[in-house]
Structure 1
Amino acid sequence: MPKYVVRYGSMRHLGVFSSKGSDFRRGAQVIARTNRGMESGEVLCEATEQALSQLNDPQRGSIVRVQSEEDRREIFRLLGQQREEFEVCGKRITELSLDMRLVDVEHLYGGERVIVYYLADERVDFRQLVKVLAAEFQTRIEMRQIGVRDEAKLLADYGDCGKPVCCNTHLSEMPPVSMKMAKLQKATLDPSKISGRCGRLKCCLRYEYDTYQELRRELPPVGAAIITENGRAKVLGHEILAGQLLVETEDMRRVIIDASEVLTVLGKGKSAAEKAPPTRTEGNSEEQ
């Protein structure tokens, strides 16, 4: 029985879905049975060992069929219905004076449930809201508290780079990002320029961090005494991608040299990252 990796839902969940003998191409729009009910989804690839190694505890399900024209009309109708349900939900939250901010409403294709995504600083007693919405929508109501990164995943469109935001396209998990990563890559530390649509540090700061770390390990650390063909010097800084060092020579000149010019490292200094105090990691700690 062939299996495929399928992306589905507003939060762009990834799952491994079986198929009863049918073959599906990448990008095929399908109707699938998930752990939440019947949903529309998109086939990404076959569930090979390599693909599965990239997934962390994927959900399981089955592909029911390729979307028909009737399915597409129903999906379009549900999108309009979701907008109406969003307005109704917002009104009921206001009427009940609940301390929460409505982010989005998702109505599953099969009608098994309506999922309400919201932000809140503290725990919210939404039992009365669930009763009211269940009576109005005539289906099961699921309340899901999310964080600001997931809000961007649901609502954001384009980033500063001019491309669709990563969290709403190819990212299946939010990578932890810290200011240390920005410092190592010598990115600007202006919060307005290194923050994404969610207001947190941009996920793309994480992409090249491992490469920077690997390249930095090949360089003498900051503060180390080195010997070059021109004599002794002290390492003051790194140009990691270029493989160059900013050094201070014995006659107090500061010059940039190639790392290949280093003959011997006499003393190990501490890198700037090692000297810096611990930096709090930006992640999804606020999400529940």
Structure 2
Amino acid sequence: MSGCTNCSTGTTAVGGCQNNGSCGTSDCNKMNAFDWLSHMGIPEIDKFDIAEIKFKGGRKDYFRNSGLLPLTTGDPVVVDVPNGHHIGYVSLQGELVRLQMQKRKIKNDDNILSIYRVATQKDLDKWQEAKNREIPTIYRSKQIIEELKLGMKLSDVEYQADNSKATFYYSADDRVDFRELIKILASEFKIRVEMRQISLRQEAGRLGGIGVCGRELCCSTWIHDFKSVTTSAARYQNLSLNPSKLSGQCGRLKCCLNFELDSYLSALEDIPNVEKPLLTEAGPAKLQKTDIFRRLMWFSYNDDNNWHSIDCDRVKLILEQNEKGITPFNLKQDKAFEGEFDQSKNNQDLELLDKKFAQSKRKKKRKPKSRKPNMTSGEAGTARPDQQEKRGRNQKSNRNHKRGNKNQKDNPSQIQADNGSQGPKSKNDGHPNKRRRPNRNRNPKNNPNQGKSDDN
């Protein structure tokens, strides 16, 4: 069988692996239990005669095997219920049933009903017809509840195997007067009606689902008794008090908050209780975070964003010093090392240096821009007209300057003639760093002075 009709995963013949519960019961695996005492070799004479029977939605009850029927985990059996009979599946047998009854505080007396027989195919077919009425009944019942304007939420309906009774499971915040509702339901569906109020956690367990951990909900797989969960469990575990993260599918605090609470409480015994900031010369240190299992605590000076981690032993020592009126240098040192400077003075020096460099930058002259290389003909076409005109003048002066230097190198006597014909020297003529203006007139015919010098 690939599934069970309760969770609508398939409808085939009820079977089982006949392995005493090691692989399940060919059911939807809700509230399954492994009989780990089945291979212990317990004598058959002392076998416990009460079996645990599982019904729809993970509900379990205990029935006596008065006829000593050879039962196997997963077998469908017909059991005795008030005003009729019902069909369930065997989920547990033997000594584990005794332990479960002691855990749930159920007495082994005459109030425990008996198992009639192993269900036949005729019993299963009749039960299937009764279960086919459940979904239409839920839809119609919700319409009636809306018409009567009752403050209740109908979550599930379970028909008895003999099709004579139906149990309506609902949840409500306040007490609901459903007497008129029972009359309408009984007259419309021709059955006996039982209204049973359940909590939101039980409702989530009956409906089922997948939790944030990626596994099936604990309330629908193994939890049958729900304990109260408070926000103090989240505080002990240093969890953020965010209702959207701490709430389960039922809208209440997650049951898993209680799973590791004992471990956190035992670990918190060695963690010091810091109720006020620690006093140090660097400033008051406020507690920001505590890693319980690593025994580390993070503090910040004056609500700064920089956190400093120290171990719990160091925190205890600082607390003892503060009680005696002793103030340590900082969180990690009792006294300053030699040559260690004060941070406040260092900050003042840095501010003075910043001001000094800011003033020097203002007074500093701008550096002359480096001359850009001459542009090619293609690049010159893209420049602005004023830039092109200026660049042309510079290029022309450079050519004339190079031309004059060349004449001086080729004809040094011309330089002497020029010096003699020009008369007295100027003030800058004898200066070694003063460059004489070259003679731009290269043609000797146009220069009479140059010709005379040649004759002489």
TM interval, short-chain normalised: 0.7 to 0.9
CA pair 247-148 structure 1, distance change in 2 beyond 3 A: closer
CA pair 213-38 structure 1, distance change in 2 beyond 3 A: farther
* 2:232 aligned partner: 180
Structure 1 residue 50 corresponds to structure 2 residue 96: no
Cα deviation for residue 255 of structure 1 reads 3.0
CA distance in 1, matches of 2:274, 2:103: 36
CA distance in 1, matches of 2:89, 2:61: 10
Cα deviation for residue 212 of structure 1 reads 1.8
Identical aligned residues as a percent: 31
* 1:16 aligned partner: 62
| 1:17 partner SS | strand
CA distance in 2, matches of 1:167, 1:108: 24
Deviation by residue 1:184-205 (Cα, 9 ceiling, x = unmatched): 2233432222211111111111
TM alignment of 1:1-288, pairs within 5 A: 2-10=49-57, 12-20=58-66, 21-34=68-81, 37-45=84-92, 46-48=94-96, 49-57=98-106, 60-222=112-274, 238-240=290-292, 242-246=293-297, 254-257=308-311
CA distance in 2, matches of 1:128, 1:54: 39
Deviation by residue 1:29-82 (Cα, 9 ceiling, x = unmatched): 433224575333333323544333332448833333334333333333322211
| Alignment-mate amino acid for residue 98 of structure 1 | L
| Alignment-mate amino acid for residue 59 of structure 2 | H
Deviation by residue 1:261-285 (Cα, 9 ceiling, x = unmatched): 989x969x9xxxxxxxxxxxxxxxx
Between Structure 1 and Structure 2, the one with more strand by share is: 1
Select between 167-176 and 70-79 the one with higher mean Cα deviation. 70-79
Matched residues, number: 259
CA distance in 1, matches of 2:267, 2:83: 45
* 1:278 aligned partner: none
Whether the 8 Å CA contact 1:18–1:63 is kept in 2: the answer is: yes
Cα deviation for residue 117 of structure 1 reads 2.0
CA distance in 2, matches of 1:222, 1:29: 60
CA distance in 2, matches of 1:161, 1:138: 44
When the two structures are superposed, what TM-score results if normalisation uses the length of structure 1? Answer: 0.72
CA distance in 2, matches of 1:89, 1:247: 57
CA distance in 2, matches of 1:53, 1:216: 33
Gap regions ≥5 residues in structure 1: 225-233, 270-288
| Alignment-mate amino acid for residue 4 of structure 1 | A
Whether the 8 Å CA contact 2:208–2:217 is kept in 1: the answer is: yes
* 2:334 aligned partner: none
| Alignment-mate amino acid for residue 166 of structure 2 | V
Whether the 8 Å CA contact 1:222–1:237 is kept in 2: the answer is: no
| 2:216 partner SS | coil
| Alignment-mate amino acid for residue 69 of structure 1 | Q
| Alignment-mate amino acid for residue 122 of structure 2 | E
Deviation by residue 1:93-147 (Cα, 9 ceiling, x = unmatched): 3343434332222112233421122233443332222122212222211122333
CA distance in 2, matches of 1:24, 1:223: 62
CA distance in 2, matches of 1:170, 1:47: 19
Between Structure 1 and Structure 2, the one with more helix by share is: 2
Deviation by residue 1:190-244 (Cα, 9 ceiling, x = unmatched): 22222111111111111111222223235444469xxxxxxxxx9986433x251
Larger RCO: Structure 1 or Structure 2 (Cα < 8 Å, ≥ 6 residues apart)? 1
When the two structures are superposed, what TM-score results if normalisation uses the length of structure 2? Answer: 0.48
RMSD, aligned CA: 3.9
Whether the 8 Å CA contact 1:16–1:47 is kept in 2: the answer is: no
